[in-house]
Chain A
């Protein structure tokens, strides 16, 4: 039987949440934090999610901004489905060594 894992949303503008304990694919993710409740919104984990890892709250397009703490934490490198793990395999920094030349000019 699938379990329940809390997914912390820091800011209402965020499109990812962070697991507060490990989740297995198929587990129910109960959103807590900056979400309206009750009733608590729910998602289903599409992949295994270790504790402290991120899951998408909504479908994210390739190249789209990923938001946590109400700010941009990088860009999606492929389309990401709700409940899917968001990590280094599908999220890339836009700063530091990942700096995209000309990005300030575009912004």
Chain B
């Protein structure tokens, strides 16, 4: 089966053709916003990171910025730097450009401040936009698709409807040759024995158990605090423990063999079902999936969330009909139908699969219509706080 996408020089295929304005540091966020505001269709990615980070966080932030710019959905990038930050802006530009796409650098200190940098940046952005406008969609096989699956603002019904429905769609995607990446290591806690059995090899199974053990030791450091391992919204929605949340959560990955465990923001080297080692905070996880090359993220929710992602459409699947109706503008698909008996899991999963292919071919999702382009990078200690 095919979708209609934008062929990129590095062999990947975008489902969108975005012009991204990417600040390397919080100090450049305002200028990035000003540049994007002057060029129709440009998307700025303001964020609070980029400087005075410890080496681990600095490298994480740098890799995530590069991965976001390199995502197949991005046609061209304007990188906005202050000029003295610890993230290496030239490296960001160089490694995005290595994917064969235009990436240009605007430095605020070099250009003489906000106003001048915004003017220069808007000129660069307008030129890149004009080049992008000539590109058209062409047929591409589903094997070119990387789909992230994520859950957030979960409730007691997420694991009974939206997640297993997404699991059916994930199985159909893998069967069609696509890659499906699930994440949130914290939400494998209590379900790792099942995931290890689902691993393609015993070695991959051991890797899964090892990353879950690491996260659990991080969580134990927070023992005695008032923070639970699940959010107040999860509890209000009927979830009682991290084990219950995890066992429902993993159902969205489907039943295919797990073929690889990859690091935060890393691109999969294989097709099929992949686990990315991320924190449980939704946006820190979604951002890493997108930086790892996911062109679409399927996001299940029970309580409802409006979130999107900087460089990829986020297709939201709701676990129950009352929430779907209440947050109708923010959500795309109602999986509450499987609880009311209107649809079987297989039918709803097939419907979601067709919707994913439609979104890949250009159908906008609710998050895009709402202007949601969130971006968040994990921080050291992410796992220890409430999620």
Knowing A95-B216, A96-B242, A99-B220 are in contact, say whether A71-B189 is a contact too (CB < 8 A). no
Contact B238 A98 (CB under 8 A): no
State whether B237 touches A52 (Cβ < 8 A). yes
> CA separation between A93 and B160, bound complex, in Å?
20
The residue from B228, B244, B320 contacting A73, defined by CB atoms under 8 A apart: B244
Q: Beyond A20-B339, A71-B190, is A8–B160 a contact (Cβ under 8 Å)?
A: yes
Looking at the assembled complex, report how far the CB atom of B234 sits from the nearest CB atom of chain A, in whole angstroms: 10
- CB < 8 Å neighbour of B190 from A52, A53, A95, A97: A95
Interface size class for chain B?
Answer: 35 or more
A52 touches B156 (CB 8 A): yes
Q: Which residue of B lies closest to A94 (CB)?
A: B243
Which A-chain residue is minimally distant from B190 (CB atoms)? A95
- Is B229 an interface residue, CB under 8 A from the partner? yes
A74-107 residues at the B interface, CB under 8 angstroms: 74, 86-88, 91-99
Size category of the A interface is: 20 to 34
- Count, A-B residue pairs, CB within 8 A: 104
CB contact under 8 A between A96 and B238, given known A20-B339, A73-B243: no
Whether A95 and B242, one on each chain, are in contact in the complex, defined by CB atoms closer than 8 angstroms, is yes
Between A and B, 26 residue pairs with Cβ closer than 8 Å are A8-B339, A10-B160, A50-B238, A51-B320, A52-B155, A52-B156, A52-B238, A52-B302, A53-B156, A53-B238, A71-B190, A71-B191, A71-B243, A71-B247, A72-B190, A72-B243, A73-B244, A74-B241, A88-B240, A91-B240, A95-B190, A95-B242, A96-B242, A97-B219, A97-B222, A97-B227
Known contacts A52-B157, A98-B242; 14 additional CB pairs below 8 A are A10-B159, A50-B238, A52-B320, A72-B243, A87-B235, A88-B240, A91-B240, A93-B229, A94-B243, A95-B243, A96-B186, A96-B242, A97-B227, A99-B223
